[in-house]
């Protein structure tokens, strides 16, 4: 059971790693766009806004105002040329660091929560699992839970999943879940258990052929 928990944790961590790589690529693309266009916006928008002020209905254009605007524009351009990159770094650096730290804290809390939840569920499954093979179908009896009965025609998939066989109905097959049956049992004679598994596989194949 501990080995199964470790494999489940490794699978979850692999999915999380794939998600992290996609997130990092998306954040890198967004940051590249911001670093490319934000300096231009810092230049254009203030100059455009100051130029439009001269054309407001309440103001009248004059040579003095035009000269003042030209001087201010040149000074602003020089300042922008020198400090634009620093401004962009200041605007983008801190929010990015905060987002990264927050994401890692949330991811860590979520991982610990899922790990505790999975261990509780696995602990509830510990015990003797019984499998009954009958002409009409298959019955699974997990410890402390209601028995699950499946007609052979209901089983749409049987595949190997590590140390288990996974059987799934049509609905379960579509969403990638199913019932697990261990390929080895410490509670039974190995030859008898393997014979039972072979009978199970044969009946599932026959049920699918007739279904």
CA distance 164 to 155: 16
Least confident residue range of 4-8, 9-13, 53-57: 4-8
Burial (CB count within 10 angstroms: exposed 0-12, middle 13-18, buried 19+), residue 74 = exposed
Answer yes or no: pTM beyond 0.85.
no
- Residue ranges of domains in the chain, CATH in brackets: 2-124 (no CATH), 130-210 (2.30.29.30)
CA distance 40 to 156: 59
The answer to whether 6 and 131 are in contact (CB under 8 A) is no
In this structure, how many other beta carbons lie within 10 angstroms of the beta carbon of residue 167?
24
Q: Mean pLDDT in the chain?
A: 78
CA angle 122–120–10, rounded 5-degree value: 60
Query: What is the tens place of the pLDDT at every residue in 94-140?
Result: 666 666 666 667 777 777 777 777 677 666 666 677 888 888 888 88
Which tokens go with 16? Answer: 């999380």
Percent with pLDDT over 70 in the chain: 77
Got the DSSP string for 41-55?
A: HHHHHHHHHHHHHTT
């Amino acid at each position: 059971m501990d080995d199964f928990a470790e494999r489940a944790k490794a699978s979850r961590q692999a999915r999380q790693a794939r998600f992290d790589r996609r997130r990092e690529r998306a954040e890198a693309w967004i940051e590249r766009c911001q670093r490319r266009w934000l300096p231009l916006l810092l230049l254009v928008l203030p100059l455009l806004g100051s130029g439009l002020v001269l054309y407001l209905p309440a103001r009248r254009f004059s040579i003095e105002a035009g000269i003042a605007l030209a001087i201010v524009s040149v000074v602003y351009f020089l300042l922008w040329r020198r400090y634009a990159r620093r401004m962009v770094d200041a605007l983008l650096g801190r929010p990015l660091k905060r987002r990264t730290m927050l994401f890692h804290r949330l991811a860590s809390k979520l991982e610990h929560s899922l790990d505790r939840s999975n261990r509780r569920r696995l602990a509830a499954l510990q015990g003797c699992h019984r499998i009954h093979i009958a002409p009409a179908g298959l019955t699974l009896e997990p410890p402390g839970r209601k028995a699950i009965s499946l007609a052979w025609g209901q089983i749409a998939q049987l595949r190997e999943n590590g140390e288990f066989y996974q059987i799934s109905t049509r609905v379960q097959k579509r969403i990638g879940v199913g019932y697990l049956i261990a390929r080895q049992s410490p509670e039974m004679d190995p030859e008898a258990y393997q014979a039972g598994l072979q009978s199970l596989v044969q009946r599932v194949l026959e049920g699918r052929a007739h279904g």
